[in-house]
A and B are shown apart, each in its own frame.
Chain A
Amino acid sequence: MAIEVRIPTILRTYTSGEKAVEGSGATIDELFKDLETRHAGIRERLVDEAAGGELRRFVNVYLNDEDVRFLAGISTELTDGDSVTILPAVAGGTA
């Protein structure tokens, strides 16, 4: 099962500079564990083990552009062809 994962600039040190990589897994959690096997160190930057394995506070993850925190968080289920985007939390909008 192929999922496209878009990687923010700050994490491309783990993906040899690649903007997007492919991964697999039935959930976001499994996907990140799969990424870790090829991009060692990346999972620790995304997941806070001390806080029960949830996403880190300033990490936003979107499944097909929808924030996974409003779906099922790290347990959000994935299907083949989904697109996952990882972004740092920023101040934005027409502020």
Chain B
Amino acid sequence: MRYDSPLAAVGGTPLVRLPSLSPSETVRVWAKLEDRNPTGSVKDRPALHMIEQAEKDGRLTPGATILEPTSGNTGISLAMAAKLKGYRMVCVMPENTSEERRALLAMWGAEIIPSPAAGGSNTAVRQAKELAERHPDWVMLYQYGNPDNAGAHYATTGPEILADLPEITHFVAGLGTTGTLMGVGRYLREHVPGVSIVAAEPRYDDVVYGLRNLDEGFVPELYDASVLTTRYSVGSEDAVRRTRELLAREGIFAGVSTGAVLHAALGVARKAERAGERADIAFIVADGGWKYLSTGVYTAATDEEAVATLHGQLWA
């Protein structure tokens, strides 16, 4: 396939059947390989779309500074586009994210403002909102509340999946900003009667949740529960085990959050198989494993050892 520029090559990713992990010929599991985007993650879609829309309506002008709270992937996508388009990029990122993410952001020239590990992404969001108030000339695209985040998936990811898999019965993705689930979910609901939209939410260890206050929680502004059929919480153990299983049985080298999504997808598959129902389940591989290599998750001798290496880290 030929494109006019690297940025034009966002999207159009492969959808592959998982012959070994699918329970049968009538219950099939399909992986949408979003690591095949220019910076290696699904976030290239919303990042580029948010920038282009902001340029169109004049919120983003030449030489501007872009500010974003991110645990990594959105920041990396924005930083790459910002570099090519001549914007300055400032990311607010929790300090307990992997070293590779910091290196990648630095490589694209982004400045990183660390937020305390104990507060996780909630604190990164709050800190970014405070910075935005102090610097009214900075442009916060704000992936958690920007309709163009979900809009990117409504316009591209959803139609791609439906074109490749018109018989789709279930769509499964990770729940973060909720953009993927809201965008693809809305698109599929409009075109596939009875389709199930399933969210897999990462559940971290106590260390990560530590100081979370129940009264100051965070629900992304984009989130609309009515788009979802259901929502599963997936712990690090299941996420790590499935990430390693995906590598060993299908040869797909994916990030740890994909393991959590696969766990939910296989749960859905097992239910369909037991009920004797046909199912075509598509799930999102949000990124490859490269950024998580230093955790040791892929090379640990056992799943238990692999889980231990992740202790206290934001893996999704």
| A residues with CB within 8 A of B | 8-11, 19, 45, 56-60, 62, 65-67, 69-70, 85, 87-95
CB of A88 within 8 A of CB of B213, answer yes
Bound Cα distance A45, B234 (Å) = 24
B122 CB within 8 Å of chain A: yes
Sample of 9 A–B contacts (CB below 8 Å): A58-B214, A58-B217, A59-B217, A67-B233, A85-B203, A91-B176, A92-B202, A92-B316, A93-B286
Which residue on B lies nearest to A56, using beta carbons?
B214
Give the residues from 197 to 219 in chain B that come closer than 8 angstroms, CB to CB, to chain A: 201-204, 206, 209-219
User: Could you tell me how many residues of chain B have their Cβ less than 8 Å away from some Cβ of chain A?
Assistant: 50
A10-B211, A70-B231 given; A94·B287 CB < 8 A: yes
Give the contacting residue for B212; candidates A67, A85, A88; CB below 8 A: A88
- Name 18 extra pairs, CB < 8 A, besides A59-B214, A70-B229, A93-B177: A10-B212, A57-B219, A59-B217, A62-B232, A62-B233, A65-B234, A66-B233, A67-B201, A70-B231, A91-B120, A91-B122, A91-B176, A91-B177, A92-B120, A93-B178, A94-B43, A94-B176, A95-B73
Given the complex, which residues of B lie within 8 Å of A92, measured CB to CB?
120-121, 174-176, 201-202, 204, 316
What's the A-B contact tally at a CB cutoff of 8 Å? 123
Give the contacting residue for B230; candidates A58, A70, A90; CB below 8 A: A70
CB of A8 within 8 A of CB of B212, answer yes
| B residues with CB within 8 A of A | 41-43, 70-74, 120-122, 124-125, 143-144, 174-178, 201-204, 206, 209-220, 225, 228-234, 255, 257, 286-287, 316
